Chain A
Amino acid sequence: MLQIRQLSAGYDRQPVLSDINLTLPPGQWFALLGPNGAGKTTLLHCIAGMLAPSGGEIHVCGTSLHGDPQAAKRSLGFGCAPERLPGLLTGRQCLQVHAAAKAVPTPDALDGPLMALAESLQFSGMLDRFVDTYSTGTRQKLAVLLALVGEPRLIVLDEAFNGLDPGSALALKRHLRERIEGRHCSVLLATHGLDIVERYADRAALLLAGRLVHEWQADEIAALRAAPQGLEGAMAKAAAAAGGRGNGAGGKPRERGA
């Protein structure tokens, strides 16, 4: 589903990611962990084709993101940052734009499972309101729904549970799990929520200062669930073994907004 080979990337000659190798087969939930500024969002931006890597290769569903970006992006659903959503469009119009870009017939895209999810997220009442009237959590719900338009085979989400109420977060986790099991798609989630990793993820990796320093398989995660210190302790150990917390040294420079 996703293959990354020797990926390196950065901003304005400042390297952020180096030598990232990752393979994500179909039907897996992969959690990307790491401290602030470790490069999680940068990695997701590379996978979504929003940032050109300085080296390495990314293949989405067997298609090179560099060679045929349109075909690769058709298999991809990316949850954008909620603050980037356009205030002057309604939620429904945002969904229509995504459906049109992915060449999905609108009734198919905005019906069935996606609308059922919108209903369970208590979002359907907000569909015809302008995005600039949405709260932070509601924007987050729309960003997630946009990522799911058109049955993407690879769903890439960045901190998708931030701002969601517990009920909506649970509904979304169950929906993603059902998608993974029923439709053999894969989910790549960057998160700080260790409970999500322990309960839902099939694999997890720790990103420190732009490098993947440790990876946990499904059986290791299951064992950590029962351990007294859980994933938190395992992460601390992995970070110590990798030589420090990697507190953002390799991270993205602070954006200077206009």
Chain B
Amino acid sequence: MTSAVVPHTHSRPRWLRRRPHCLAAWLQCRNAYRHRLLPWPLSAMVIAVLVWAFGRTALIAWLQHCCAHSVVVGLVAAAAVAAATTRRKAGVRRELGQSWLAALPSAQSQLARVALAPLGLVALVVSVLIIATLAGLPLPAAAVILAAIAAGAAAGLVIGWLLPRGSAAPTPGSWYALVPRSRSDLRPTLLPLAHWPIAATRVWGRPSIRARWVLVVLLAVPLGTPAAKALAAAAGVLVGWYLLTLLVAVMRVAFAAAWWLAPTSIGILRFTGSLVYLAWLRQLLICCLSLAATDALGGASVLREGGAIAAAWLALCCLSGAGACGWALAPRSIAHSRLHRWMR
């Protein structure tokens, strides 16, 4: 092997070469766009959604409304960036002990690494504002929002950095499923498999995560909306979030469980039944409770529509769960499947 085949890293800027974390992140991002198909349609979808959203006058009006309440926007930005900084601080601390780059000399300070996440958030907002300006948002309004967010982000970064550090220990993984079991019954059982998606949903639906979604929904509710409607919207989002994460958890757990259960004598039917039934019962229970609540609030016509949606959702859960289990346990693909690795 000669140096002729080795591309020179000297072609990259010096500051990037002295920051291995940034260099590795840049190379990974470039590889993802060059060699993987998924990032392209995802990016296209995000851009399409943004262009569609900014084509609607309601959103431009909402941004102008934000411009009129720039102090609130600044406060929200400060709170979001402070929370992101505190989380990132714990993440950087964890990386320090585990990363493959941890033992390298790096010119990048911890503060700079912590600040990357909030700066990314601000960059995202800036790009959204640019699209909004192109779609008709007056330039002074965009400038006011940008200034409010930048000031809020700077204050949030300082607050987040000064706040006490969070625990460096990672969040307990979704595979820690607690299974209720009688002490006298020592027979082996597949019950833990059924509880696994439930545990995963519990981890993904931690209050800190749910709170963000509720906050986004409540911020999107126009001023003057009755409190009952706003609360109903928030409750709807929470229920929807739970149902969706339970569906995703079943599919993800199917691939994770297939990885180590495939060499056993478990059949596809037993595997599917054990893994899906409890999650499906939960979906059924939540749908019934939601329908009952809808009936109490909205009447028979809403109940009819809701019933049809719930039935379609339950059928989708059943089909997607069974499909994922069948695909995951199919012997042809497990060893080399990228999907298995990704889903795990």
Q: Which residues of B contact A40 (CB under 8 A)?
A: none
Q: Most B CB atoms within 10 A — which of A49, A84, A101? A: A101
B10 at the interface (CB under 8 A from A): yes
Residue of B nearest to A98 (CB): B104
Residue of B nearest to A95 (CB): B6
Measured between C-beta atoms, what is the minimum distance from B196 to chain A in Å? 15
CA distance A106 to B7 in the complex (A): 8
Q: Which residues of B contact A98 (CB under 8 A)?
A: 20, 104
Q: A86-B24, A100-B23, A258-B173 are in contact. Are A49 and B102 (CB under 8 A)?
A: yes
Contact A74 B6 (CB under 8 A): no
Contact A101 B6 (CB under 8 A): no
Contact B9 A106 (CB under 8 A): yes
When A and B form their complex, what is the total count of cross-chain residue pairs whose Cβ atoms lie within 8 Å? 117
A-facing residues in B1-25 (Cβ within 8 Å) = 1-3, 6-10, 12, 16-18, 20, 23-24
Q: Contacting A101 at CB < 8 Å: which of B2, B3, B20?
A: B20
Q: Which residues of A contact B173 (CB under 8 A)?
A: 256-258
Q: Contacting B6 at CB < 8 Å: which of A69, A107, A156, A255?
A: A107
B-facing residues in A1-41 (Cβ within 8 Å) = 12
Measured between C-beta atoms, what is the minimum distance from B31 to chain A in Å? 5
Residue of B nearest to A152 (CB): B103
Contact B104 A256 (CB under 8 A): no
Contact A102 B32 (CB under 8 A): no
* Mask: chain B, 80-103; 1 = CB below 8 Å from A; 0 = not: 000000000000000011111111
Q: Which residues of B contact A218 (CB under 8 A)?
A: none
CA distance A110 to B1 in the complex (A): 9
Residue of B nearest to A90 (CB): B31
Residue of B nearest to A78 (CB): B103
Q: A92-B6, A97-B24, A105-B10 are in contact. Are A256 and B172 (CB under 8 A)?
A: yes
CA distance A105 to B8 in the complex (A): 8
B213 at the interface (CB under 8 A from A): no
Measured between C-beta atoms, what is the minimum distance from A257 to chain B in Å? 5
Task: Give the bracket for the number of chain B residues in contact with chain A.
Answer: 35 or more
CA distance A146 to B1 in the complex (A): 17
Contact B105 A74 (CB under 8 A): yes
Q: Which residues of B contact A119 (CB under 8 A)?
A: 1
Q: Which residues of B contact A255 (CB under 8 A)?
A: 170
A76 at the interface (CB under 8 A from B): yes
Contact A80 B102 (CB under 8 A): yes
Q: A101-B20, A130-B35 are in contact. Are A73 and B172 (CB under 8 A)?
A: no
* Mask: chain A, 98-133; 1 = CB below 8 Å from B; 0 = not: 111111011100110001001100001001001010
CA distance A125 to B176 in the complex (A): 39
Contact A73 B105 (CB under 8 A): yes
Contact B1 A100 (CB under 8 A): no
Contact B170 A101 (CB under 8 A): no
Measured between C-beta atoms, what is the minimum distance from B240 to chain A in Å? 24
Q: Which residues of B contact A73 (CB under 8 A)?
A: 103-105
Residue of A nearest to B31 (CB): A88
Contact A258 B18 (CB under 8 A): no
Q: A73-B104, A85-B100, A256-B170 are in contact. Are A130 and B31 (CB under 8 A)?
A: yes
* Mask: chain B, 21-45; 1 = CB below 8 Å from A; 0 = not: 0011001100110010000000000
A50 at the interface (CB under 8 A from B): yes
B225 at the interface (CB under 8 A from A): no
A100-B16, A100-B17 provided; 12 other pairs, C-beta below 8 A? A50-B97, A50-B102, A69-B105, A84-B99, A97-B20, A97-B23, A100-B9, A101-B105, A102-B104, A105-B10, A111-B1, A156-B103
Residues of A within 8 A of B (CB): 12, 45, 48-51, 69-71, 73-74, 76, 78, 80-81, 84-86, 88-90, 92-94, 96-103, 105-107, 110-111, 115, 118-119, 124, 127, 130, 132, 143, 146, 156, 255-258
29 A-B Cβ contacts within 8 A?
A: A50-B97, A51-B97, A78-B103, A80-B100, A80-B103, A86-B100, A89-B24, A89-B31, A92-B6, A92-B7, A93-B27, A93-B31, A97-B9, A98-B104, A100-B12, A100-B16, A100-B17, A100-B23, A101-B101, A103-B17, A105-B10, A106-B7, A106-B8, A110-B3, A111-B2, A115-B1, A124-B1, A156-B103, A257-B173
